[in-house]
Chains A and B, each alone.
Chain A
Amino acid sequence: MAKVVDARGLSCPQPVLLTRRAIEEGQFPIEVLVDTATSRENVRRAAEQAGLQVQVEVIGDEFKLTLRR
């Protein structure tokens, strides 16, 4: 079961903060849901900065990022 972080409707840096908290809990994979391109970019870059693999899926107007170690 993937850990899900629902950051839709939140503005930066909240999506990054929630993602970081989930990374610290250490349960992978992590799925992060965001609804803006800027949040998608910030979460993707923050996760890559933390040395994680990131996969981005477009779901309608929203994005799902899957983070793996």
Chain B
Amino acid sequence: MGLGSPDDAVVYRMENGTLLVATADFFAPVVDDAYTYGAIAAANSISDIYAMGGTPFLALNLAAIPSDMPPEIAAEIFRGGMEKAWEAGVVVAGGHTMDDREPKYGLAVVGTVAPERLLLKSGARPGERLILTKPLGSGVITTAYRAGQASPEALAQVVPWMLRLNRDAVRAIHATSARGATDITGFGFLGHAVEMALAAGVRFRVRAEEVPILEAARPLADLWLFPGGTAANEMYFRQWVTFDPSVPQEVRMLLYDAQTNGGMLAAIPAAEMARFTDACRALDQPFWEVGEVIEGEPGIEVVR
């Protein structure tokens, strides 16, 4: 993918025709537990390969560790990352660690994809159904938790979702002929949806009441405990988004909430929804149908 059409990862065609997919991501802790943090960061980094329809196989650690952090804590971060990578069939070999005040961790990941399995932000076509494979709310919950405003129980609602690989979601998408997909991360559901709609030159109609939102996120959204990234998403992407007046302000903001290792957003041909549903059931992969792709001015309209 060239810089003119930004996507989730870089794709490089090798001399034998194989497409190599490469990406890198790292971030500061989103949870207190070092092992869980490492695992979430790894799942998040690997997700960009899945988002392109690829199969990851090799990764390098990228880390910043404070000089006063106990070595056993740092080791737990790396162990969490390595075991999550292993679950994804990815070997972590080496990498680089630097010294910094705030810890950071993630992976540079390489995978391959067959040309006919490539998933692109530009792949959505009018008439297709929009599906989302994880509920929203990780941004507001982790931010509120760090500020002492959310309970451990609230955090526990979101951790399993942040730990979950997007591998099975992509397997289910690949059971269909769908070509339009991306993963939901920092730009939030609406930010990434805008990217897909603009890249494909289509309009998305999203039904706000069908978009899954973690229960624990709702009271925190009422208190407006959103991260700065969520506010930035709203300020930038709102030029392409319209809302039905009945959609509450805090729900609008949850749709913009910056996510950590969020789910896949994909456009599935309507005639293949049954096949997609069967594939998800076989893989024990939840999904929600949240809207459809329509013709019209590129952007998003959010209805009730």
Asked if B147 and A37 sit within 8 Å, CB to CB, the answer is: no
Asked if B228 and A17 sit within 8 Å, CB to CB, the answer is: no
> Quick one: which of B143, B147, B249 contacts A45, CB cutoff 8 A?
B249
> Quick one: which of B147, B224, B228, B234 contacts A36, CB cutoff 8 A?
B228
> Quick one: which of A17, A38, A41 contacts B225, CB cutoff 8 A?
A17
How distant is the Cα of A14 from the Cα of B225 in the complex, in angstroms? 8
Q: Which residues of B contact A17 (CB under 8 A)?
A: 147, 149, 225
Q: Which residues of B contact A16 (CB under 8 A)?
A: 223-226
How distant is the Cα of A17 from the Cα of B173 in the complex, in angstroms? 41
A13 at the interface (CB under 8 A from B): yes
Residues in B151-198 with C-beta less than 8 Å from chain A: none
> Quick one: which of B147, B234, B250 contacts A41, CB cutoff 8 A?
B234
Least Cβ distance of A19 to chain B in Å?
A: 9
A11 at the interface (CB under 8 A from B): yes
Least Cβ distance of A17 to chain B in Å?
A: 6
Interface string of A2-24 (1 = CB under 8 A from B): 00000000011110110010000
Q: Which residues of A contact B253 (CB under 8 A)?
A: 45
Asked if B226 and A42 sit within 8 Å, CB to CB, the answer is: yes
Interface size on B, residues (CB 8 A): 19
Asked if A38 and B250 sit within 8 Å, CB to CB, the answer is: no
Asked if A13 and B224 sit within 8 Å, CB to CB, the answer is: yes
- B interface majority secondary structure: helix
B73 at the interface (CB under 8 A from A): no
Q: Which residues of A contact B224 (CB under 8 A)?
A: 13, 16, 42, 45-46, 49
- If A38-B235, A41-B231, A41-B234 touch, does A13 touch B225 (CB 8 Å cutoff)? yes
Interface string of B4-24 (1 = CB under 8 A from A): 000000000000000000000
Interface string of A30-67 (1 = CB under 8 A from B): 00000011110110011011000000000000000000
- A interface majority secondary structure: helix
Asked if A39 and B228 sit within 8 Å, CB to CB, the answer is: yes
Interface string of B218-233 (1 = CB under 8 A from A): 0000111111110110
How distant is the Cα of A45 from the Cα of B234 in the complex, in angstroms? 11
Least Cβ distance of A34 to chain B in Å?
A: 11
B51 at the interface (CB under 8 A from A): no
- If A45-B253, A49-B250 touch, does A38 touch B228 (CB 8 Å cutoff)? yes
Least Cβ distance of B252 to chain A in Å?
A: 10
Least Cβ distance of A46 to chain B in Å?
A: 4
B144 at the interface (CB under 8 A from A): yes
List 19 contacting pairs A-B, 8 Å CB cutoff, sorted by A.
A12-B143, A13-B143, A13-B144, A13-B147, A13-B225, A16-B224, A20-B223, A37-B232, A37-B235, A38-B232, A39-B228, A39-B231, A41-B234, A42-B226, A45-B249, A45-B253, A49-B222, A49-B224, A49-B250
Residues of A participating in the B interface, judged by any CB pair closer than 8 Å: 11-14, 16-17, 20, 36-39, 41-42, 45-46, 48-49
Q: 10 closest A-B pairs (Cβ-Cβ)? A: A46-B224, A38-B228, A38-B231, A13-B225, A12-B228, A41-B231, A42-B231, A38-B232, A13-B147, A16-B224
